[in-house]
Amino acid sequence: MSTPHINAAADAFAPTVLLPGDPLRAQHIAERFFSNPERVNTVRGMYGYTGSYRGQRISVMGSGMGIPSCSIYATELIRHYGVQRIVRVGTCGAVHDDLKLGDLVLALSASTDSNVNRMRFAGMDFGAGASYPLLRAVADRAQSAGVPLHIGNVFSTDLFYSPNTGTTDTLAAMGVLAVEMEAAGLYGLAAELGAQALTVLTVSDHLRHAAHMDAAQRQTGVDAMTELTLDALCG
C-alpha cells in the first residue's frame, strides 16, 4: 500500500506518531530513543520510522514546515494508516516575557493567520485545541519529573519572515506564549478526522529579545523534550 506521500505497508505505523518538522530529526529520534527502529517511509526524504519505547510500539515521521506540509502527512497517517494520536514535537519563537530559551511549551490552543480552519468550519472561527488526555499525560509527567512547563495559547503563522513588525506585540498583549507554524492546522485536522493531537515545543528563539539557541543547545533541548514526551506517552 502507499499514499501519494507515504510508501509504507498498511500496518507500518503505530497508533501514536511523533511528528517533528525535520525528517533528520525523525531519524535522530528513532535511532536515539527507539528499540529496533525500522524506516517505513522514504518518499521525498520525509523519513518515517517505527520501533518501540519502553516496550510500546511507536512511530516518528517528519512533517516538513508549515500547515500545508504537516496537514498532508497527518491526513494520510490518520486516514490510511490508522494513526489515532499525533504529537508534534518542535521548536517555537517566544513572544511572552515569562519565557526563556530552552523552556517547554504545551500548546493548549492555537491561534493562526492561516485560513485552513475557516475552510473546514464553514467560514467560522474554530477554537483549535489540544487533546486533553494527551496534554494531561505530558503535563503530569513533567510535574512528576520536576520539569517546568508553560501551557497556553500559541500562534501558528504562515509567514516565518513576516513584514508585519507589530504582530509580536499584539500576540504578547493577548497572552500568546510563542509562535510556530503547524499547531492550529494539526488541531483543526484532528477535529475533522476524529483523531487526537498535541503540540509540544522547545523555545529556540525569543522574538522580542532577539535571542536564539545555537545548534548544540537546540539538540539538547529538543532531546529532553522528546524523552519527556515519550515517557508520558509510553509510561
Q: Which is closer to ligand HPA, CB of 103 or CB of 205?
A: 205
Per the structure block, which three cell numbers stand in for 177? 506564549
CB of 55 to ligand HPA, least distance (A): 33
Q: Which is closer to ligand HPA, CB of 193 or CB of 211?
A: 211
Per CB under 6 A, does 177 bind ligand HPA? no
Q: Which is closer to ligand HPA, CB of 117 or CB of 204?
A: 204
Per CB under 6 A, does 132 bind ligand HPA? no
Stretch that binds ligand HPA, among 76-84, 97-105, 145-153, 175-183 (CB under 6 A): 175-183
Of 110, 205, 213, 232, the one binding ligand HPA by CB under 6 A: 205
Q: Which residue is nearest to ligand HPA (CB)?
A: 93
Of 22, 76, 180, 231, the one binding ligand HPA by CB under 6 A: 180
Q: Which is closer to ligand HPA, CB of 113 or CB of 140?
A: 113
Of 93, 129, 185, 188, the one binding ligand HPA by CB under 6 A: 93
Q: Could you tell me if 180 and 199 are in contact, meaning their C-beta atoms sit under 8 angstroms apart?
A: yes
**Integer Cα distance of 108 and 119 in angstroms:** 22
Q: Which is closer to ligand HPA, CB of 37 or CB of 64?
A: 64
Which of 205, 214, 223, 231 does the annotation list as catalytic? 205
Q: Please state, as a whole number, how many other Cβ atoms lie within 10 Å of the Cβ of residue 8.
A: 24
Per CB under 6 A, does 95 bind ligand HPA? no
Query: Catalytic residue at 205?
Result: yes
Q: How far is CA 30 from the centre of its chain?
A: 16
Per CB under 6 A, does 117 bind ligand HPA? no
Residues 185-204 that bind ligand HPA (CB under 6 A): 204
Stretch that binds ligand HPA, among 38-46, 68-76, 89-97, 103-111 (CB under 6 A): 89-97
Cα angle: 138, vertex 156, 90; to 5 degrees: 45
Active site residues: 205
